[in-house]
């Protein structure tokens, strides 16, 4: 084949350009640490990256949700623990009062303490977490119990449609199609109606609605206890003991539920952590450059580029014209 000067120059320029392109690509990869800059560099990799990034964003949000739920449940658990303490103290007092050695003044003192404990119970019922009443179902902007005409009853606003319902349980997303119930509706803890109104004690705590002005079972237990003390009613005191036992049983079943949820959430948080790590690893594997390899490739490309420049300079320069006298 006949080789002409234009050919030489064109080929040299083309090849040098190709080498520069390779260098530029490697340089970009090293500068950004990413394998591709536009989806067409790697359509499949890019669409994988898209999914991984979304997954990470979702998982991180699930983790935040789980943490939120956990601190809500922490507060719920603390409140339930306190209720348990109150019931325990009341039970001690009831046993003391019922053994018949106390009378008159002693009983009045016990009654005073019981009344105090009752007030405390109401305060616990209206516990807030970040300004929200934890036992009020969906209506966290309202306290659960109020004092009306000297009696502690369910909040006035729970009227008609707004009555506090058992199913006012809100869920948080803590995984893809994995939700967790967060709140405990007050009815489950405090009960609706006076003791024995719906037959067995437990019946006050499920299948009920908290309407405006409804009596509160736990409060009623204390009311009845207080009354028995006032009247030195031995039967009433025995009843109070069994009522308090039943109340404690109810509270510990709720506490068990909360505890189980907290366990589950802790496990979920751990699981989410490891999932986030996994996806991040996949993402990195998918789109991050192997720096060592890229560096090697770059120095190889550099060598090729330099030698193409050198040969270019050698080939282009001389023609016969240089050597003719």
Partner 1 sequence: MDFGFNTAVQGLLASQKSLYVTSHNISNTNTKGYSRQEALQRATIPHLLPNIGFLGTGTEIYDIVRIRDSYVDFKYWNENAPLGEWAVKRDTLTEIEKLFGEPSNSSFRQYLDDFYKSLESLSTNPSDLSYREPVVETALALTKHINETAARLLELKEDTKFAIEAREKNINSIANQIASLNRQIYSMELDGRKANDLRDKRDLLVDELSKIVNVRVHESADGKYTVSISGVTIVDHTDVNEVKMVEDSEGKIEFHWENGSKVNLKSGELKGLLELYNGDGEDNTYRGIPYYQERLNEFAKGFAEGFNEQHKEGYKLNSNDKGEEFFSYDIDNPAATITVASNILENVENIAAGGISGNAEDNGNLLALIDQRNTGVYFGFNSSPDDYIKSIMSNYAVDSTQAKRMKDSQEIILQNIESKRNSISGVSLDEEMANMVRFQNTYVAAARMITTMDGIIDVTVNRLGLVGR
Determine if 184 is a binding residue for partner 1 (CB under 8 A): no
Determine if 64 is a binding residue for partner 1 (CB under 8 A): yes
Find residue 148's DSSP bridge partners.
151
Q: Which is nearer to partner 1, 50 or 310 (CB)?
A: 50
Residue 110 buriedness (CB in 10 A; 0-12 / 13-18 / 19+): buried
Q: Which stretch binds partner 1 (CB under 8 A): 63-71, 190-198, 207-215, 300-308?
A: 63-71
DSSP letter at 161 equals G
Residue 214 buriedness (CB in 10 A; 0-12 / 13-18 / 19+): buried
Q: Which is nearer to partner 1, 23 or 194 (CB)?
A: 23
Find residue 288's DSSP bridge partners.
34
Q: Which stretch binds partner 1 (CB under 8 A): 54-62, 200-208, 293-301, 307-315?
A: 54-62
Residue 228 buriedness (CB in 10 A; 0-12 / 13-18 / 19+): buried
Helix (H, G, I), strand (E, B) or coil at 178: strand
Pairing of strands 151-154, 171-175: unpaired
Determine if 173 is a binding residue for partner 1 (CB under 8 A): yes
HSE-up of residue 276 (Cα within 13 Å, Cβ side): 16
Q: Which helix (H) or strand (E) covers residue 206, if one does? A: none
Q: How far is the CB of 145 from partner 1 (least distance, A)?
A: 17
Determine if 39 is a binding residue for partner 1 (CB under 8 A): yes
Q: In the stretch 143-172, what mask flags binding to partner 1 with x, by CB under 8 A?
A: ------------------xx-----x-xxx
* Binding footprint of partner 1 on the chain (CB under 8 A): 1-7, 10-11, 14, 34, 36, 38-40, 43, 46-47, 49-51, 53-54, 57-58, 61-62, 64-65, 68-69, 130, 132, 136-142, 161-162, 168, 170-173, 176-177, 179, 183, 287, 319-321, 324
């Amino acid at each position: 084949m006949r080789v002409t000067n234009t050919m030489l120059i064109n080929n040299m320029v083309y090849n040098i350009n190709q080498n520069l392109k390779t260098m530029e690509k490697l340089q970009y990869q090293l500068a950004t640490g990413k394998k591709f800059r536009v989806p067409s560099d790697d359509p499949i990799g890019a669409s994988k990256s898209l999914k991984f990034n979304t997954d990470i964003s979702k998982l991180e949000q699930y983790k935040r949700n789980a943490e939120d739920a956990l601190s809500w449940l922490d507060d719920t658990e603390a409140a339930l623990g306190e209720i348990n303490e109150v019931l325990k103290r009341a039970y001690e007092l009831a046993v003391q009062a019922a053994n018949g050695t106390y009378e008159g003044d002693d009983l009045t003192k016990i009654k005073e303490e019981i009344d105090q404990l009752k007030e405390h119970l109401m305060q616990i019922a209206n516990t807030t977490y970040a300004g929200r009443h934890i036992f009020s179902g969906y209506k966290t902007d309202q306290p659960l119990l109020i004092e009306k005409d000297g009696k502690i009853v369910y909040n006035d606003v729970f009227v008609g449609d707004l009555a506090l319902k058992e199913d006012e349980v809100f869920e948080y997303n803590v995984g893809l199609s994995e939700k967790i119930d967060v709140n405990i509706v007050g009815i489950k803890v405090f009960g609706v109606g006076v003791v024995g109104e719906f037959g067995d004690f437990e019946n006050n705590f499920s299948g009920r609605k908290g309407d405006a002005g409804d009596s509160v079972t736990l409060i009623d237990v204390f009311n009845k206890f207080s009354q028995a003390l006032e009247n030195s009613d031995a039967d009433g005191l025995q009843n109070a003991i069994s009522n308090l036992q039943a109340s404690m049983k109810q509270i510990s079943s709720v506490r068990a539920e909360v505890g189980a949820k907290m366990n589950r959430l802790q496990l979920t948080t751990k699981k989410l952590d490891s999932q986030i790590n996994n996806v991040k690893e996949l993402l990195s594997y998918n789109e991050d450059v192997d720096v060592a390899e890229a560096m090697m490739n770059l120095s190889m490309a550099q060598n090729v580029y330099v030698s193409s420049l050198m040969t270019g300079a050698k080939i282009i320069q001389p023609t016969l014209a240089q050597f003719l006298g």
